[in-house]
Amino acid sequence: MKLFTAGPVACRPEVLEEMRRQMFSHRSKEYRELHEQTVERLRRFLETRGQVFLFPSSSSGAMEASVRNCVERKMLCCINGNFGKRYAKVGETNGRVVERLEPGLGAPITPESLDEKLSSAPDVEAVTITYNETSVGLMNPLSELAKVVKKHGKLLFVDAVSAMGGVELKVDEWGIDVCFASSQKCFGIPPGLAMVSVSDEALKRSESMENKGWYFDFKLYEKYQREQSSTAMTPVIPQIAALNKELEIIEKEGGKKKRFELYFKRMQRIRKGVESLGLSLFPKAGCESLTIACVNAPKRISGLQVYEQMRERGFELAKGYGELKERTFRIGNMGYIHLEDIDEMLHALGEILK
């Protein structure tokens, strides 16, 4: 099966090979070296001098951590789809008051609307933005939105789950306080690990936060990283080794620039192919994602039927999400995908539509 999923995605053979290494203790010299190398590579990749933690959880754990460590009472969630909604739910189920900025489905958050919202809600402590809303295949103009958040002096939390590793992300320059992603998306690593960057300001907030729990306490991660180059709990060593390998390969292949060019090129190929089959993308023009295409299903066949029939031909796409289940299907551009795979997939899609 060739994978064009929303994650978990296909992984490079070298990365999978790395995970077969014999285990070692997370208190050993071997682990310390692996941990330090991975964190340093990630800091370079994310362009941050702040902390980068390795969570033994998926990204939803990092989402919860941002709220529990840094928000006392109130936060603003920018919502373009299901994962923005999840952030709001995480806030509310942790007892925080949640304000919402929610343009219609398929529309991006604009700097103007965010500015207006923040002007009318001065007591908000933090703003959450989903960089790439996987459920509708939409990218928000993060660097522009970040300027507005900083102008209002708020903390900025970025869900970069389906963006980190595939598109540009400048943590310090853009002023992101907490930024996280899961291993099973653009980096193309099996699931189980979240990478979380945390600014000094976010760490300071965590210091005085009450009832933040133990497992996701930023200060605990900082202490163990500083004193032992490890974590307080047992880390997911195979995934960390795999990530370290992937980052090493990215560096050898020409760095981030080359990586982002590859993702761009692959998405151009997908979009061109889809459009030449007479199909259109769901999001408003100009904010289409570079890591996942959300395609409107043609009238005569539902998105679910496209998904099923592509599976029969050996291609696993992603189903439409939530209320778009019937109306759309999605083509993931994450992980280990060759340009020829894209051509084959588009050919099969053309056959189905015929």
Binding site for ligand PLP (CB under 6 A): 6-7, 58-60, 83, 130, 134, 159, 161-162, 182
Contact between 330 and 320 (Cβ < 8 Å): yes
DSSP state of 332: E
Number of C-beta neighbours around residue 291 at 10 A: 28
Question: Cα separation of 297 and 21, whole Å?
Answer: 44
| Amino acid sitting at position 131 | Y
Q: Least separation, in Å, of the C-beta of 139 and ligand PLP?
A: 11
Whichever of 127 and 346 has its CB closer to ligand PLP, that residue is: 127
DSSP 297-318: PPTTS-HHHHHHHHHHTTEE-E
Pick 59 or 69: Cβ nearer ligand PLP: 59
Residue 166 or 273 having the CB closest to ligand PLP: 166
Q: In what order do the strands lie in the sheet with 328-332?
A: 292-296, 328-332, 318-319
Q: Minimum CB separation from ligand PLP for residue 194, in Å? A: 7
Minimum distance from CB of 311 to ligand PLP (Å)?
19
**Cα torsion 305, 308, 314, 316: sign:** positive
**Residue 164, Ramachandran bin (φ over 0: left; ψ between -120 and 50: alpha; else beta):** beta
Cβ atoms within 10 Å of 278's Cβ, excluding its own: 9
| Cβ-contact 169, 143 below 8 angstroms | no
Please say which residue, 45 or 83, places its beta carbon nearer to ligand PLP: 83
Least Å distance, CB 82 to ligand PLP, is: 8
Which residue's structure tokens are 């400048």? 170
Q: Which is nearer to ligand PLP, 5 or 231 (CB)?
A: 5
- 29-46 vs 218-228: helix axis angle to the nearest 10? 120
Q: Which is nearer to ligand PLP, 196 or 348 (CB)?
A: 196
Least Å from the CB of residue 154 to ligand PLP: 20
Q: Which is nearer to ligand PLP, 59 or 244 (CB)?
A: 59
How far apart (Å, rounded) are the C-alpha atoms in residues 188 and 86?
23
- CB-CB contact of 140 with 146 (8 Å): no
Question: How far does the chain reach from its first CA to its final CA, in angstroms?
Answer: 22
Enumerate the H helices of 209-302 as residue ranges. Answer: 218-228, 237-252, 255-276
Tell the smallest beta-carbon distance from residue 303 to ligand PLP (Å): 17
Shortest Cβ distance from residue 182 to ligand PLP (Å)?
Answer: 3
- Nearest approach in angstroms of CB 210 to ligand PLP is 26
DSSP β-bridge partners for residue 182: 194
Nearest approach, Cβ of residue 318 and ligand PLP (Å): 9
Q: Which is nearer to ligand PLP, 7 or 91 (CB)?
A: 7
Nearest to ligand PLP of 59, 230 (CB atom)? 59
- Number of C-beta neighbours around residue 258 at 10 A: 12
- E strand residue ranges, 7-79: 51-55, 74-78
